[in-house]
């Protein structure tokens, strides 16, 4: 029975009581985290960033990032589902129909991003898929390569080439029930095993002309202005949570595991202690940069966008380093899955290759600090 009152307390209680309990099975079986999602739905967490006028909690990107961070400490798959739902919700809140906004606010509607494509891969800003006028509707034809919650979401925030305008892309709100959509296979990945991210093909899927989110050709601006800021903070949050979980689990294992012949714990070995210290420094440095980025986003500082780019790059790489160190500190016990760090080690690999990838972020930051345009 969850009796917390503030949203942070509710999320914390659900994370501790429900998400933690299901995380192992989600990872082992690749099952979508339905129990976790049901609890988050009924606690109003899906409507976190929906405006109060449609029944939501009216929070912003920083609050979303904090939810994702808390969930990632227990189950990174659940965190990823929420991350993509909030990224899509940000677009729907700005450009979508009120009926869908209301259903998201009450937790009845789960959404996700369908940006990545087979043809343009991680370069999400350049969709190759088509949107063509067909009588009184628009026909969408695409090969989407990665859609988190593909078989579970109620809608997709979908990118295509523009119908008629100039520009790199146009965005659409596509109902998951639209005829001609084909969710391809089940997700079988190294980590985030329950995030349900699979390809979706669209074969002349008919959507109404008013399913357009924003203007024809205006998709790139929405990606940059609405999706990227919240996505970077949430992606960084997921990695910060993973680093924290791995560092804490490794410290607990080292403190409680004994060399009986020496009457000492593993943590009393200087090399182990030093590794644990180095992990803590790296995890806390990523957390500090992320916290600073959240504060800058909340206060609207001029450097907020740059800091968000930095936070995702730093946190993604820190999570890989920290979880790798946790595997070493915990030794064969971790390799044999006796300690819960190997799941974090696998889950932590995803953020760095999720667009914008670390390499892209470094390039973007390099552009920003030398006064060059971010894209083009």
Ligand X SMILES: Cc1cc2nc3c(=O)[nH]c(=O)nc-3n(C[C@H](O)[C@H](O)[C@H](O)COP(=O)(O)OP(=O)(O)OC[C@H]3O[C@@H](n4cnc5c(N)ncnc54)[C@H](O)[C@@H]3O)c2cc1C
Site for ligand X, rule CB under 6 A: 84, 112-116, 121-124, 146-148, 189, 192, 195, 197, 350, 353-355, 357, 359-360, 363
- Extract long-range pairs of 16-21: CB within 8 Å, 24+ residues apart: 16/74, 19/71, 19/74, 19/75, 19/78, 20/74, 20/75
Cβ proximity to ligand X: between 50 and 112 the closer is 112
Cβ proximity to ligand X: between 330 and 354 the closer is 354
Separation CA 55–CA 32 (nearest Å): 27
Q: In what helix (H) or strand (E) does residue 27 lie, and over which residues does it extend?
A: helix 20-29
Q: In what helix (H) or strand (E) does residue 289 lie, and over which residues does it extend?
A: helix 270-299
Separation CA 45–CA 103 (nearest Å): 13
Query: Measured from the CB of residue 80, what is the shortest distance to ligand X in angstroms?
Result: 6
Separation CA 329–CA 151 (nearest Å): 38
Query: Measured from the CB of residue 224, what is the shortest distance to ligand X in angstroms?
Result: 15
Query: Measured from the CB of residue 50, what is the shortest distance to ligand X in angstroms?
Result: 19
Query: Measured from the CB of residue 36, what is the shortest distance to ligand X in angstroms?
Result: 17
**Cβ(45)–Cβ(67) below 8 Å:** yes
Cβ proximity to ligand X: between 197 and 243 the closer is 197
Cβ proximity to ligand X: between 141 and 265 the closer is 141
Separation CA 61–CA 297 (nearest Å): 8
Q: In what helix (H) or strand (E) does residue 325 lie, and over which residues does it extend?
A: helix 304-335
Cβ proximity to ligand X: between 207 and 354 the closer is 354
The tokens for 191 are 């980590």
Separation CA 156–CA 152 (nearest Å): 11
Cβ proximity to ligand X: between 114 and 142 the closer is 114
Cβ proximity to ligand X: between 339 and 352 the closer is 352
Query: Measured from the CB of residue 134, what is the shortest distance to ligand X in angstroms?
Result: 25
Over its C-alpha atoms, the chain yields an Rg (Å, rounded) of: 21
The residue assigned the tokens 């299901």 is: 22
Query: Measured from the CB of residue 8, what is the shortest distance to ligand X in angstroms?
Result: 25
Query: Measured from the CB of residue 57, what is the shortest distance to ligand X in angstroms?
Result: 23
Distance of CA 326 to the CA centre of its chain: 23
């Amino acid at each position: 029975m969850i009796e917390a009152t503030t949203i942070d307390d509710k999320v914390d209680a659900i994370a501790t009581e429900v998400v933690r309990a299901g995380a192992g099975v989600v990872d082992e079986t690749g099952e979508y985290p339905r129990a976790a999602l049901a609890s988050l739905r009924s606690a109003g967490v899906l409507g976190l960033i929906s405006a109060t006028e449609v029944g939501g909690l009216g929070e912003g990107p920083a609050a979303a990032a904090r939810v994702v961070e808390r969930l990632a400490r227990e189950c990174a798959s659940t965190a990823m589902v929420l991350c993509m739902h909030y990224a899509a919700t940000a677009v729907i809140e700005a450009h979508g129909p009120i009926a869908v906004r209301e259903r998201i606010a009450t937790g009845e509607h789960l959404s996700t991003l369908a940006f990545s494509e087979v043809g343009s891969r991680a370069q999400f800003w350049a969709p190759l898929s088509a949107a063509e006028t067909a009588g009184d509707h628009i026909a969408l034809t695409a090969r989407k390569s990665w859609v988190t919650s593909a078989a579970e979401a109620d809608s997709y925030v979908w990118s295509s080439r523009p119908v008629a305008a100039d520009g790199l892309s146009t965005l659409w709100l596509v109902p998951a029930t639209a005829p001609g959509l084909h969710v391809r296979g089940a997700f079988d990945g190294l980590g985030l095993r329950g995030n349900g991210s699979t390809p979706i093909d669209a074969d002349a899927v008919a959507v109404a002309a008013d399913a357009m989110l924003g203007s024809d050709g205006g998709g790139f601006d929405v990606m940059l202005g609405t999706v990227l800021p919240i996505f970077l903070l949430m992606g960084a949050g997921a990695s910060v949570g993973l680093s924290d979980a791995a560092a804490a689990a490794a410290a607990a294992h080292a403190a409680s595991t004994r060399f009986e012949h020496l009457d000492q714990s593993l943590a009393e070995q200087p090399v182990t202690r030093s590794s644990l210290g180095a992990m803590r420094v790296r995890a806390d440095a990523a957390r500090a940069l992320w916290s600073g980025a959240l504060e800058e986003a909340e206060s609207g500082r001029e450097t907020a966008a740059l800091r968000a780019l930095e936070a995702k790059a730093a946190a993604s790489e820190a999570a890989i380093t920290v979880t790798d160190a946790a595997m070493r500190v915990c030794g064969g016990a971790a390799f044999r899955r006796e300690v819960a760090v190997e799941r974090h080690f696998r889950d932590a690999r995803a953020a760095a290759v999720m667009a914008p990838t670390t390499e892209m972020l470094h390039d973007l930051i390099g552009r920003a600090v030398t006064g060059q345009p971010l894209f083009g």
